[in-house]
Structure 1
Amino acid sequence: MKGQDRISALLTKLHAASPAGFAIALHVRYTSPRYLFQSYAKEWLDTYSREGLVLHDPVVRWGFTHEGTIRWNALDDPARVMDRAAAHGLRYGAVVAFVHDGSRTMAGFARGDRELSDDEIATLKSTLEELHDLTGTVETFSPDVHMTLKQMSIYLTHG
């Protein structure tokens, strides 16, 4: 399977496991990811952006300062961002964050119906690690593949 097809398949798998959506920041340098894939509902993304919630988001804060996994209900959230997310159907979720080969990747995965099981979180983590590894060699991608990944990011975020 070609790299871009495998990446698409992994994103599809991650979305199926987190039906309320996800936000994946791959290869974060300083504060900017090389790729950002989001599949949350547009209304939530608009609210999140308009109100500058990234500055208070415990998912982002935890992802920048830890490695591993944590459920959303265990996060410190003094600004109550997760309550706002729950009002948009993002009631349950988990954070996955790690550094491989000096490159940080972090993600939030959401469900509206129930907590993710330990096994589901472990699968999300291993799938995200594979996605991280596949996208880490962007320099070896052709310009067409790189553009396709950027378009996938835009599609997921605004689709």
Structure 2
Amino acid sequence: MSTNETIVSEALGRLHKLSPAGYALGFHIELMAPKFVFQTYPKAWLDHYSSNGLLMVDPMVAWGFSNEGTERWSNLDDSSGVMKLASEYGMKFGAVVAVNTNGSRSLGGLARSDRELTDEEIELIFKDMKLIHDATADTSELNEATLAHLKKMAVMVTHPGS
């Protein structure tokens, strides 16, 4: 396993522990399409979110494209009701993270069902998002095997058992 694969794998493991209700992470988004996506939100939520086009009204997405850093879900303007609906799927608390380096933007939403994330946890989440962002920044520098493994990891995280 390459250094970049190890960085991504270890960071995803830490993010999973910090967000037991799931996460959705998109790295290096260009024209609304990320190069890498890792999702562990409940499948029922992912299906509902997708089939109802909630991406277009998601306050995390709006915040993430307008800001850098982190914000708790409870501080977002949820006039569209997306966060309220997410709570019905067990994702009651969470944070949004936005990383932007040299015009390349990565976004993440991470959830818990039991309590708000602490400031320290949110800081750790940001650091791991930045690690993954940096490790996947220049795919031209990654060898074919590493790139293939990272894409396979994205599928395995998003679709366990695949």
Q: Same fold (TM over 0.5)?
A: yes
State the partner residue of 1:135.
136
State the partner residue of 1:118.
119
TM-score, reference length from structure 1? 0.95
Q: How does 1:4-153 map to 2 (within 5 A)?
A: 4-153=5-154
Please provide the CA RMSD for this pair.
Answer: 1.2
Q: How far apart, in 2, do the equivalents of 1:68 and 1:2 lie?
A: 25
TM-score, reference length from structure 2? 0.93
Is the CA contact (8 Å cut-off) linking 1:42 and 1:157 kept in structure 2?
no
Instruction: Please state how far the C-alpha of 1:57 moved relative to its aligned partner.
Output: 0.7
Instruction: Please state how far the C-alpha of 1:87 moved relative to its aligned partner.
Output: 0.4
How many residue pairs end up in the alignment?
159
1:90 partner letter: M
For residues 117-157 of structure 1, give each alpha carbon's deviation from its aligned partner in whole angstroms, at most 9, with x where no partner exists: 01110110011111111111211112121111112112222
Matched-pair identity in %: 42
SS in 2 for 1:88: coil
SS in 2 for 1:10: helix
Instruction: Please state how far the C-alpha of 1:5 moved relative to its aligned partner.
Output: 2.0
For residues 27-84 of structure 1, give each alpha carbon's deviation from its aligned partner in whole angstroms, at most 9, with x where no partner exists: 1122111111111111111111111111111111111111111100111111101111
